[in-house]
Amino acid sequence: MSNVLYDVPGPKARLRSRIASVIAVIAIAAGLAAVIWALAAPRITAGGAELPGMFDPSRWDILADRAVWRRIGVGVLNTLQMAGVAAIGAVLFGVIISFLRTAGSGWIRYPMVVVLEFLRGMPVLLMMLFVLLIFSTGAYWAGVIALILYNGAIIGEALRAGIAALPRGQREAGLAIGLGPVRTRLSIEFPQAFRQMLPIIIAQLVVLLKDTSLAYVIGYNELLRTTTNQLANYYGSRYLFTLFFVTFAIYLAMNLLLSWIARIVARRVESGRMPKGSTPFSRKAEARRARKVVDDAFATRVTDQSLGAKR
Amino acid sequence: MDAVIENLPTFLRGFGTTLALLGIAGAGALVIGTLVAAMRISPVAALRGFATVYTEILRNTPLTLVLFFCAFILPYLGVRIDFFILASIGLTAYTSPFVAEAVRSGVNGVPVGQAEAARSIGLGFGQTLGIVVLPQAIRMVVPPLINVIIALTKNTSVAGAFFVKDLFASAQDVINIRGDEVFAILISVAVFYLIITVTLGRIAAVVERRVAVLR
């Protein structure tokens, strides 16, 4: 699309574009340099004492300490454990929800609509606090349960949309060969819906991994609390910036990795949908489309929140 | 229930702060997000690259980290601003890439023929975008944008954990006084949030139906 918006640039436009590029690069680099410069400058406290700048070795030397990394490792494991347990729970809960939401009886279906609206319209953080205080589960389970409820509701809606998008004949064929409605749903409709919606589900799991950091607020020792609370208290607050930076880098790496996996899965799913041997798409176009599926799924974190939004 | 009625002023003040956060961060994110989206489809490679990196980094950082940065690291680095403003900046920054993605997918959703037609009658990049593509894209972008705003509404609760007296913080404050009515307090706070999110969700659904008719 974006290449239709403007002509293939001629020599003049190319020159102008290159000049604009250079100016933009210089502006961005200057901005970054200003930030780095400001960070590196020694700071003067209110008392007049001079503290070293943010890139001074005395602020980074703890990274040479094995114990620090072991502690960070524990924090990462705590975060991953919460994310893993919540992810499994959320997928299972999503499956159950998609069943209840499409149940034959209105007595089950309509209350589910209200419950789902409630689960998706409420902040996850408030839900964590709710579980923590009402059921006194402890911070870990409060986080896990809130994440299961919220993400399960969204995954459930995604699965429902996937089932609704299947050709009618699939269900009819299942019933025609004598499978009951439940068997048809389980062994014919469900596997297909799941496969179609896999990119969206994985993208939602990236959101889930990000949201584990909310458990910081209710006092669970996940990565952020481990570094900026425990380690910063133990080694002194002069390392706060360093520790935050390390945390940030770890989170970024984990999430980018998972997003990347989501894109690969999306590409697999997409290419599985195309007739074999007649692929009119180059690898690059395919990758671009996989990227779009995942990007859209990211937006659904978002999009799925409105009840009326039919996709 | 009387714990809720007694402390209604606290809740309403919190609700006001939440709405203020929503308004400021929402407006800021719309402006910055649109700019980033424009950069991402612009002919200048450096701007495209910058916008991509900006989007990827912010979208893959947890909101808690962003707000932690605003509430602890910035003051630690010597920034002396009110926490409310810091939280608004954090929420704006966090929401802007989602706005940018919504706008970009709207622009990509306009049929190619429209842009081709505009190009073929001799309109330039700015004209094609401004007169032909964007007016159509905005229509398609409104429902997802409302959904971004709904997500933002819920995300403002995280600011309540970082020294901003919003609805979430007011819940915590009231619970500290009236520990015997935790359930009623939390449910009523949830209802306040649902008032915003469900209303916005309905608007999104209506707008979506209108757009569907137009196309």
Place of tokens 């499956």: A95
Domain residues of chain A, as ranges? 71-301
Nearest-CA distance B31 → chain A (Å): 18
Residues A307 and B201: beta-carbon distance below 8 Å: yes
Chain A hits for B51, Cβ within 8 Å: none
d(CA A184, CA A175): 7
For residue range A182-193, what is the model confidence (pLDDT) as tens digits?
A: 888 888 888 888
Nearest to A226 by CA among B94, B89, B68: B68
Nearest to A158 by CA among A105, A207, A122: A207
pLDDT > 70 fraction of chain A, expressed in percent and rounded: 83
d(CA A151, CA A300): 12
For residue range A225-284, what is the model confidence (pLDDT) as tens digits?
A: 999 888 888 888 888 889 999 999 999 999 999 888 888 888 887 766 544 444 444 556
Domains and CATH numbers, chain B: 2-214 (1.10.3720.10)
Q: What kind of architecture, by CATH, is found in domain A71-301?
A: Orthogonal Bundle (1.10)
pLDDT of residue A5: 67
Chain B hits for A46, Cβ within 8 Å: none
Q: Which one of B50, B57, B63 has the shortest CB-CB distance to A252?
A: B57
Nearest to B51 by CA among B90, B88, B89, B100: B100
pLDDT of residue A310: 35
Nearest to A149 by CA among A168, A124, A126, A129: A124
pLDDT of residue B100: 92
Contact yes or no for A54 and B45 at CB 8 A: no
d(CA B19, CA B156): 9
Nearest-CA distance B77 → chain A (Å): 8
B-chain residue closest to A212, CA distance: B62
pLDDT > 90 fraction of chain B, expressed in percent and rounded: 47
Helix (H, G, I), strand (E, B) or coil at A51: strand
Residues B4 and B184: beta-carbon distance below 8 Å: yes
Question: Rounded mean pLDDT of A205-222?
Answer: 92
Nearest-CA distance A295 → chain B (Å): 8
Nearest-CA distance A232 → chain B (Å): 12
Residue A109: count other Cβ atoms within 10 Å of its Cβ.
13
Q: Which one of B62, B115, B209 has the shortest CB-CB distance to A210?
A: B62
For B55-67, what is the HEC assignment? HHHHHCCCHHHHH
Q: What is the DSSP string of A175-216?
A: HHTT--HHHHIIIIIHHHHHHHHHHHHHHHHHHHHHHGGGGG
- H helices of B78-133, in order, are 83-109, 112-120, 125-127
Greater confidence (B1 vs B169) lies with: B169
Contact yes or no for B150 and A305 at CB 8 A: yes
B-chain residue closest to A238, CA distance: B76
Residue B80: count other Cβ atoms within 10 Å of its Cβ.
6
Task: State the ipTM, two decimals.
Answer: 0.87
Contact yes or no for A255 and B60 at CB 8 A: yes
Strand-pairing partners, residue A148, are none
pLDDT of residue A105: 82
For residue range A48-93, what is the model confidence (pLDDT) as tens digits?
A: 677 788 888 888 888 888 889 999 999 999 999 999 999 999 999 9
Please say if the pLDDT value at position A297 is more than 70.
Answer: no
Please say if the pLDDT value at position A3 is more than 80.
Answer: no
Residue A43 per-residue DSSP state: E
Chain B hits for A9, Cβ within 8 Å: 43
